[in-house]
Amino acid sequence: MVQTALQQMSIAQPRLTPEQVKALEHATGLAGARLALALLPQARQLSLAPVSNFAVGAIAMADSGYWYLGANLEFAGLALHYSVHAEQSAIGHAALHNEQHIQAVVVSASPCGHCRQFMQELNQPVTITLPEAEHALGELLPYAFGPADLGIDGGMLSPEPGTLHHASDDTLLKAALQQANLSYAPYSHNRAGVALQLADGRIITGRYLENAAFNPGLGPMQLALSQLQLQGGRPEHITRAVLVESAAGISQYPGAAQLLAASSAVTLEHVS
């Protein structure tokens, strides 16, 4: 039913507008979380999981009324920590559209501890909707450690804007710079953004989303390649790639360069 409605409305993008959500509710008779659960197979189809062969789909439902699809992404031949989880994919998708609040994350499988910690960085009440039940994030992650424990008032979706500057008219570099200034790195201060140029002229971007527990953070190249996957692109479509980051005690470049090299013949340009 949902697949037919999507085809009839010519909805192919992994981001649903409030108007599209309402139209789907009218066409299917499903509303809110019930509709989102019915859309999870569409999200799972966006998965690329050559290591686990386990597809996971997620939808981040923003207060704005927009819904953001996400799916897990794995990289054959690389360590598993490079993987992008479906919840990270959906929330990162929302972050790239500058959403300020996620009211619910609908996911096809119970979130792992990694994803629960990642969602804790939102620093706001979030409902986790599963096919069999609905939970507050606090129920799934009791005694949580997050930004508030380190004196951070905001969260992943409300970073302080950066002030990085580069005197260049290079469109791709400026896109990466913009993402670096919008990135969230309150602990390391390693603001970082990635921009990928595709053969068809599109620019795909990603930004660094840090975590109080450090390891569950999402790197800018991981988010950019996740977006590439969600938007129907492939690594072989990349013609140029740029990483812009602030000088700090850590660097995104080694990991981002390794990740790109495993996916594309393009060399990563680095501006620090």
230: which 2 tokens? Answer: 């969600």
Catalytic residue, chosen from 87, 99, 121, 245, is: 87
Q: Output the CA angle 45-63-126, nearest 5 degrees.
A: 75
In DSSP notation, 211-258 reads -TTSTT-B-HHHHHHHHHHHTT--GGGEEEEEEEE---SS-SHHHHHH
> Residues near 10 by Cβ (< 8 Å), separated by ≥ 6?
none
Cα dihedral 37/97/250/148 (nearest 10): -70
- Using CA atoms, how far apart are residues 38 and 223, in angstroms rounded to an integer? 25
234: which 2 tokens? Answer: 């492939």
Query: Between β-strands 102-107 and 127-129, what pairing exists: parallel, antiparallel or unpaired?
Result: parallel
62: which 2 tokens? Answer: 């923003």
Place of tokens 């812009």: 244
- Using CA atoms, how far apart are residues 101 and 124, in angstroms rounded to an integer? 8
CB 193 within 8 A of CB 207: yes
End-to-end alpha carbon distance in the chain: 50
Q: Which phi and psi (to 5°) does residue 37 adopt?
A: -60, -40
Whether 87 is catalytic: yes
219: which 2 tokens? Answer: 């790197």
- Using CA atoms, how far apart are residues 161 and 178, in angstroms rounded to an integer? 10
Catalytic annotation, residues: 87
